[in-house]
Amino acid sequence: MTPAERPAYQKFDVAVHKSGIDGFGVFAAEPIPAHRKIGEIRGESISVAEARQRAIGRQRIMIVEISARKAIDASRSEDAMRFTNHACSPNARLSIQGGRIEFYALRAITPGEEITVNYGQTHHEGTLACRCGAANCVGWL
């Protein structure tokens, strides 16, 4: 996708492919310099209570709590970054800025490399096995 074809909030070209970590993942389609914004995800604005209800029993959750009262459900979003998988040694970080869910490179990311973030606390509450393969993997999400 050329810069003119992608949404303004998607700063670098990425692609969705099968992931060795889990299901599908998002991969860099061009070099991404360290500390640069990669892009965002958007979705349905819902309450945290609704988000937690929707998360019950799901293995793949595409919901991010952006405040104590508000969450974004990206499960129906077309934004590729919604496929960002967890890794215990990630190459990117998720940041909530003004109600937006943004992703920033922690280091330079090469084309073809899967973009990952550390999810931190999740709706899985330590019940989902982590398959990131990192030497420091904690084992559970």
**pTM over the 0.85 mark:** yes
The tens digit of pLDDT for each residue in 42-96 reads 999 999 999 989 988 776 778 889 999 999 999 889 999 999 999 999 999 999 9
Domain chopping of the chain, boundaries: 14-117
Please tell me the distance from the alpha carbon of residue 111 to that of residue 29, in angstroms, as a whole number.
5
Domain 14-117 top-level CATH class: mainly beta
Is the pLDDT at 123 greater than 60? The verdict is no
Q: What is the DSSP letter of 85?
A: E
